[in-house]
Amino acid sequence: MQITQSKDLFNKAKNFIPGGVNSPVRAFRAVGGDPIFIKKADGAFIYDEDDNAYIELINSWGPMILGHNHPMIREAVIKAMENGTSFGAPTAREVEIAELIVAMVPSVEKVRMVNSGTEATMSAIRVARGFTGRDKFIKMEGHYHGHGDSFLISAGSGAITMGNPDSPGVTKGTAKDTLLAPYNDLEAIETLVEANKGEIAALILEPVPGNMGLVIPKEGYLQGLRDICDREGIVLIFDEVMTGFRLSKGGAQELFGVTPDMTTLGKIIGGGMPVGAYGGKKEIMEFVSPAGPVYQAGTLSGNPIAMAAGLTMLNYLNDHDEVYTQLNQIGGKIVAGIRSSLEGLGLDYTVNHLGSMYSLFFTNSKVTDFASAKHSDTALFGKYFQSMLRQGVYLAPSQFESLFLSTALSDQLIGKILEANNVALKEIHQ
Ligand code: PMP
């Protein structure tokens, strides 16, 4: 495999773009080596500027659940573009997608479209504060909710990978209203709630966190949070930017049967275009301007091209339950194969898995929260990542991420992934 164009582009990019990339984790800092620059993607593959093909296990960090460049979505976008790219005025498609989201996501009775997951979570917290008249909120260690100031405290994803989970530039005044708790620990929440009685507006979490690597909620944990929030008048927010429309049609909330008060969405909802959304109970969403006093707006919100892509994606998922059966089978086969390789090689690493998301953690202990995720040997992960890349399999370039599978992965490709995995595991232990 020859990689020259990507190297040249990265060297040039560093002159004009901070770190050479427009989002930190893309720089491959955590795994060593230079990032590959992508020219195109189709189905289960992405192609770099040197025309090397890689099997995709990230899928644009989640959105491409049906694989890349799906003809149905491509055609919807091209058709929408024939009528103009932005109006800054309401359109029929926005009504249609809102109605569909309300039908698909159990907690959502009203929804507002925005342009990213970051905007969705920032807005949801503001609305929860406006609704309750309280300032503080609880966030889980190692969870990532985008780059809004108040979330960059013990943040996951690229923030852990880059070693700055608490970002400079966030004022002490802002940080003091973010209360931190370990994930999967109801006692810790009870203690925080007791110490801040009547002052907590919201509890936000990734119901199934993917931003410290994939971690599964303990039995009864999500329901326990629901009960505490009900008792204390705290707005429970599920950040389903990753899990929404992925773990099931209605996201983690549908899968686990626990309905939050508000939900934030992103990724799949835009079919690969820049889209986010936040929604929830009517009485809460009625606080959003112009229905209510909490301000939130966007020049490009509900953009007609983005809505065409998102609507096509959601309609397809809503009409095809078999997508989820297929994704679960694909995930099951890959993870069973990895576990069997590990066993064959006498290795005892942890694999966390749910549906079409999984993480292989280079630690022998269980990973149930941020502290245990950090036991992973990140240097070993870097070597594993590079070996997989050389063999034509594209993974998330950090230990602290989940992988996102698509329906484009055939049995033959799964075989290739598992072969590469076995070679990589052997290689890194030589
Ligand atoms: N919330 C979660 C759970 C996420 O995984 C992400 C991004 N990976 C975000 C929010 C932020 O979304 P965006 O990158 O679209 O701003």
Count CB atoms within 10 A of the CB of residue 391.
18
Task: Give the residue carrying structure tokens 């990542």.
Answer: 385
Q: Tell me the average pLDDT of the chain.
A: 97
Alpha-carbon torsion angle 286, 140, 215, 114, nearest 10: 30
State the average pLDDT over residues 45-51.
Answer: 98
Range of weakest confidence among 28-37, 137-146, 162-171, 340-349:
162-171
Residue limits of CATH 3.40.640.10 in the chain? 71-319
Most ligand 1 atoms within 8 A of CB, residue of 113, 122, 211, 273 to mutate: 211
pLDDT beyond 90 at 345: yes
Q: How confident is residue 409, by pLDDT bands cut at 50, 70 and 90?
A: very high
Range of weakest confidence among 141-145, 154-158, 259-263:
154-158
Most ligand 1 atoms within 8 A of CB, residue of 26, 140, 144 to mutate: 144
Q: What is the pLDDT of residues 363-407, one digit of tens each?
A: 999 999 999 999 999 999 999 999 999 999 999 999 999 999 999
Closest ligand 1 atom, residue 239 Cα:
3
How far is residue 292's CA from residue 6's CA, in Å, rounded to a whole number?
A: 49
CA of 411 to the centre of ligand 1 (A): 30
Residue 103 has phi, psi (to 5 degrees) of -70, -35
Given 54, 144, 183, 324, the catalytic residue: 144
Q: How confident is residue 275, by pLDDT bands cut at 50, 70 and 90?
A: very high
The pLDDT score that the predictor gives to residue 162 is: 67
**What percentage of the chain has pLDDT greater than the value 90?**
95
| Lookup: tokens for 206 | 């990734």
Most ligand 1 atoms within 8 A of CB, residue of 23, 25, 61, 118 to mutate: 118
205 DSSP β-pair partners: 238
Q: What is the pLDDT of residues 153-177, one digit of tens each?
A: 887 777 766 666 678 899 989 999 9
**Contact residues for 164 (Cβ-Cβ < 8 A; gap 6+):** none
Pairing of strands 178-181, 53-56: unpaired
Residues in contact with ligand 1 by the CB-under-6-Å rule are 61, 116-118, 121, 144-146, 157, 206, 211, 239, 241-242, 266, 276
Catalytic (active site) residue 172? no
Catalytic (active site) residue 144? yes
How far is residue 375's CA from residue 210's CA, in Å, rounded to a whole number?
A: 16
CA of 370 to the centre of ligand 1 (A): 17
Count CB atoms within 10 A of the CB of residue 3.
17
Could you tell me the pTM of the whole model? 0.98
Cβ atoms of 309 and 72 within 8 Å: the answer is no
5-69+321-428: which CATH topology? Answer: Aspartate Aminotransferase, domain 1 (3.90.1150)
CATH code for the part of the protein at 71-319: 3.40.640.10
Cβ atoms of 44 and 52 within 8 Å: the answer is no
Range of weakest confidence among 93-97, 155-159, 409-413:
155-159
Residue limits of CATH 3.90.1150.10 in the chain? 5-69+321-428
Complex ipTM:
0.99
Given 48, 239, 261, 369, the catalytic residue: 239
Catalytic (active site) residue 239? yes
